[in-house]
Amino acid sequence: MKARDLVERFEQFAPKKLAMDKDPVGLQIGSLDQEIHKVMTTLDVRPEVVDEAIDNDVDFIFAHHPVMFHPAHNLDLDDPQNAMYAKIIANHITVYAAHTNLDSADGGMNDWLAESLQLSHLTGLVPAYDESVFRLTVQVQKVYAAAVRMSLVDAGAQASADQYSGYTYEIDGTVYYVPKAGADPTMGAAGEPNEIEDSRLEFEVPEKNLHKVLRTLADVHPLEKPLYNLIRLEDKKHHFTMGRIGDLPRSMTVKEFAEYCKQVFSVSGLRVIAKDLTKPIQRIAILGGDGGKFFHLAQQKGADAYVTGDVYYHTGHDMLAADFPVIDPGHHIESICIPKLASMFKRWSDDNDWHLDVYQSKINTDPFTFM
């Protein structure tokens, strides 16, 4: 398989348009046309991680954090960062990063973090992207309707229904017509009235799936030019959000919750910003990475406390003034993506017969040591 096979499938799950402005997501180093056999999932791309990839015959590194947040100003190989780039290229490794688009994806980073805390009744925290939804109506001979319907559902076309998958609508009817000279002979003799049993299929298609669905329709529809109608639903959009808010299984004090976070995220220490450690809390907001600037939004949306990393000193003072407890377990809790991405890629490999090996990085890239 080629790198782009995996990337195209991933970008159906977490499109690049979900990323925040100026976030350098996507291909970092290498070529999407490179053949790949073994992918490594990692949080960060650091020199020791690249050595790990080489030692394990990895030819594709899939990272959460971009390896190139800032462009290189020269190719001086005495610079450790440049030397790492050179080693990646010399060993024919392709590097791809999914950052804030993975943070905002449904079932992505922040859902994984919320799940680890056993939060329920989830809602979104920070608006990220409003995706259009289209109504697709396809006309097809009844004998072909089931095959066309199943192919389009597999490509991502289905009406919205939270409790069901493959939800579509079908209505049957009869088409009456008289073929003209030069018409498809399989549709009847020219000049003679004819009729066929027809079906009209109706789907709702998220914008991210639209290209694949229409490409599939062209491939599977029995007519050379399929009959279909496409309408953008102005009153219906899918709202992607970064961060989650949900309820703990039970009420805890701030101190109890801090200890719970240490256990869940396997950290030996964390920072707590709170006036009263005995304050009971249950509704929790969480945003992986550097999310301190969104604490006012979390409070406004009804959270009792907030979990995020990299809280700045002065922002901490503002949190205390607002009497809003915040737990900072560090940025590295996002390493939850390593096994989650690996599991996803293994499932896709099986589904698509890719024969792709998946390796999880074992290097701890957290730069901090708690003493």
| 239 annotated binding-site participant | no
Rounded Cα–Cα distance for residues 234 and 87 (Å): 49
| 99 annotated binding-site participant | no
The amino acid sitting at 312 is Y
Domains of the chain: 3-101+335-360 (3.40.1390.30), 109-128+242-331 (3.40.1390.30), 130-239 (3.30.70.120)
Among the listed residues 168, 166, 167, 175, the one whose alpha carbon sits nearest the alpha carbon of residue 142: 175
| 64 annotated binding-site participant | yes
- 57-81 mean pLDDT: 93
Rounded Cα–Cα distance for residues 42 and 19 (Å): 19
- The model's pLDDT over 124-173, given as tens digits with 9 standing for 90+, comes to 999 999 999 999 999 999 999 999 999 999 998 976 555 677 788 899 99
| 103 annotated binding-site participant | yes
Among the listed residues 64, 367, 114, 123, the one whose alpha carbon sits nearest the alpha carbon of residue 265: 114
Positions of E strands within the chain: 26-29, 38-42, 60-63, 94-97, 120-141, 169-177, 194-206, 227-253, 271-273, 280-290, 305-309, 326-328, 357-360
- 291-299 mean pLDDT: 98
Rounded Cα–Cα distance for residues 371 and 354 (Å): 45
- The model's pLDDT over 22-53, given as tens digits with 9 standing for 90+, comes to 999 999 999 999 999 999 999 999 999 999 99
Q: What pTM value is reported for the model?
A: 0.84
Among the listed residues 3, 59, 6, 11, the one whose alpha carbon sits nearest the alpha carbon of residue 349: 6
| 44 annotated binding-site participant | no
